[in-house]
């Protein structure tokens, strides 16, 4: 289980997260939704400490770190927490000088010190899972955006993380290419992969999320089962935001 408790984060004089608490149950998919600037991506990046909170507590399984404005988190604890996460970025961030299979192998060889043969076997298994085996020896530049993102998902899964973090995984893709990424993430969800994702893609969130957290202005406005939040939101701000997303989704497919 992943628990974020009373997370506060500011950039200069701009408070972005204001005492945010979120629980991500193991084996479920939780979607963070909200307008640009709502804090959803910053909250996601606080989980693996790409952003360091000024206050609050981050817990993944048996690893927890508390943050205070004047304290410095323990580096060993930070590394232990990061190793429990895999990250899928908005713009793929594949290594351009490594082939597809080498990208997926990289963390296993350099961080986990696996033998190359064992790492390659694991990488090929994951490329098969995301439908990219045929491109194992291709260079990232030769792939479509959707293909690059599927490779990025395989790379994030390689070290068997406790939680897969996805930061707007479809926003850099046109709708047709986004479909293939949604399908891969949906399959992972069916297999019980624990995921926390920041997204404004209503199709992605409604297809695979078990739970939804709506943020606005650095606060959690509403949280609950996806069917409830999308189908009968309790807060008028949530209703307005969902109706806006629905209208945008209709325009994208129309």
Q: Note the pLDDT tens digit of each residue in 109-128.
A: 999 999 999 999 999 999 99
Q: In whole angstroms, give the CA distance from residue 188 to residue 208.
A: 9
> Per-residue b/e over 230-243, b at no fewer than 16 CB within 10 Å?
beebeeeebeebbe
- The tally of domains found in the chain comes to 2
Q: Are 47 and 25 in contact (CB under 8 A)?
A: no
Instruction: Establish if 209 belongs to a structural domain.
Output: yes
Instruction: Establish if 241 belongs to a structural domain.
Output: yes
Both 155 and 186 in a single domain? Answer: no
Q: Which residue range forms the structural domain that includes residue 221?
A: 2-84+165-253
Note the pLDDT of residue 157. 95
Q: Quick one: average pLDDT of 215-219?
A: 95
For residue 18, the tally of other CB atoms under 10 A from its CB is 16
Both 103 and 32 in a single domain? Answer: no
Both 50 and 175 in a single domain? Answer: yes
Alpha carbon 27 to chain centroid, angstroms: 14
- C-alpha distance across the termini of the chain, in Å: 39
Mean pLDDT (the chain, rounded): 92
Instruction: Establish if 89 belongs to a structural domain.
Output: no
pLDDT tens digits for 14-29? Answer: 999 999 999 999 999 9
Of 160, 192, 215, which residue sits at a domain end?
Answer: 160
Both 135 and 226 in a single domain? Answer: no
Instruction: Establish if 42 belongs to a structural domain.
Output: yes
Question: pTM of this prediction?
Answer: 0.92
Both 227 and 116 in a single domain? Answer: no
Q: In whole angstroms, give the CA distance from residue 32 to residue 119.
A: 32
Q: In whole angstroms, give the CA distance from residue 29 to residue 195.
A: 5
């Amino acid at each position: 289980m992943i628990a974020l408790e009373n997370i506060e984060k500011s950039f200069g004089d701009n408070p972005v997260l204001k005492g945010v608490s979120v629980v991500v149950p193991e084996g479920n998919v939780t979607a963070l939704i909200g307008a640009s600037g709502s804090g959803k991506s910053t909250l996601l990046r606080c989980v693996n400490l790409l952003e360091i909170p000024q206050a609050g507590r981050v817990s993944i399984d048996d690893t927890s770190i508390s943050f205070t404005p004047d304290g410095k988190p323990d580096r060993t604890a930070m590394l232990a927490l990061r190793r429990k996460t895999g990250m899928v970025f908005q713009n793929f961030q594949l290594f351009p000088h490594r082939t597809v299979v080498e990208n997926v192998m990289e963390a296993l060889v350099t961080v986990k010190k696996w033998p190359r043969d064992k790492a390659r076997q694991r990488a090929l298994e994951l490329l098969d899972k995301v439908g990219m085996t045929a491109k194992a020896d291709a260079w990232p530049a030769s792939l479509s955006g959707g293909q690059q993102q599927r490779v990025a998902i395989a790379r994030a899964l390689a070290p068997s993380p406790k939680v897969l973090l996805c930061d707007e995984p479809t926003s850099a893709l046109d709708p047709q290419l986004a479909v293939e990424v949604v399908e891969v993430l949906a399959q992972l969800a069916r297999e019980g992969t624990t995921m926390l994702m920041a997204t404004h893609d209503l199709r992605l969130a409604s297809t695979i999320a078990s739970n939804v957290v709506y943020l606005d202005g650095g606060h959690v406005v509403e949280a609950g089962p996806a069917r409830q939040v999308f189908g009968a939101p309790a807060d008028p701000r949530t209703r307005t935001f969902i109706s806006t997303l629905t209208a945008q989704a209709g325009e994208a497919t129309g």
